[in-house]
Amino acid sequence: MKDRFKAIMIRKDADKQTVEDAEIGLNDLMEGDVVVAVSHSTVNYKDGLALAGRAPIARKFPMIPGVDLAGTVETSSHPDFKPGDKVILNGYGLSENHFGGYSEYARVKGDWLVPLPKQFTPAQAMAIGTAGYTAMLCVLALEDAGVTPDKGNIVVTGAAGGVGSVAVSLLAKLGYKVTASTGRVEEEGYLKSLGASEIIPRSELAGDPRPLGKERWAGGVDSVGSKTLANVIASLRYGGAVAACGLAAGMDLPTSVAPFILRNVSLLGVDSVQMPKPRRLQAWQRLARDLDIEKLTAMTQTIPLSGVRKAADDILAGKVRGRLVVEI
Both 85 and 211 in a single domain?
no
Instruction: Tell whether 182 and 148 lie within a shared domain.
Output: yes
pLDDT of 224 reads 96
- State the Cα angle at 186 between 217 and 197, rounded to 5°: 30
In a domain? residue 291: no
What confidence score (pLDDT) does residue 55 get?
A: 76
Task: Decide if 97 is inside a domain.
Answer: yes
Write down which residue in 248, 269, 290 finishes a domain: 269
Within a domain: residue 292? no
Based on the domain organization, do 171 and 82 belong to the same domain?
Answer: no
Residue 286 lies in a domain: no
Residue 288 lies in a domain: no
Q: What is the pLDDT of residue 1?
A: 85
Q: Do residues 264 and 187 share a domain?
A: yes
Using alpha carbons, select from 173, 145, 143 the residue that is nearest to residue 294.
173
pLDDT at 258: 97
CATH of the domain at 70: 3.90.180.10
- Whether 307 is covered by a domain: the verdict is yes
> What's the domain count of the chain?
2
CATH classification at residue 252: 3.40.50.720
Could you report the per-residue pLDDT of 137-194, keeping only the tens digit for each?
A: 999 999 999 999 999 999 999 999 889 999 999 999 999 999 999 998 888 999 999 9
Tens of pLDDT along the chain (328 residues)? 889 999 999 999 877 899 999 999 999 999 999 999 999 999 998 999 999 988 788 999 999 999 999 999 999 999 999 999 999 999 999 999 999 999 999 999 999 999 999 999 999 999 999 999 999 999 999 999 999 999 999 999 999 988 999 999 999 999 999 999 999 888 899 999 999 999 999 999 999 999 999 999 999 999 999 999 999 999 999 999 999 999 989 999 999 999 999 999 999 999 999 999 999 999 999 999 999 999 999 999 999 999 999 999 999 998 998 899 999 9
Say how far apart CA 100 and CA 98 lie, in whole Å: 6
Do 218 and 88 share a structural domain?
Answer: no
Q: Do 93 and 164 fall within a single domain?
A: no
Q: Are residues 178 and 256 in the same domain?
A: yes
Considering the domain architecture, whether residues 104 and 73 belong to the same structural domain is answered as: yes
177 within a domain of the structure (yes/no): yes
The pTM is what?
Answer: 0.91
Residue 193 has what pLDDT? 95
Give the structural domain span for 10. 5-116+299-327
Same domain, 74 and 149: no
- Of 225, 254, 269, the one marking the end of a domain is 269
Same domain, 242 and 143: yes
Q: Is residue 278 included in any domain, yes or no?
A: no
Could you tell me if 264 and 162 lie in one domain? Answer: yes
Same domain, yes or no, for 146 and 227?
yes
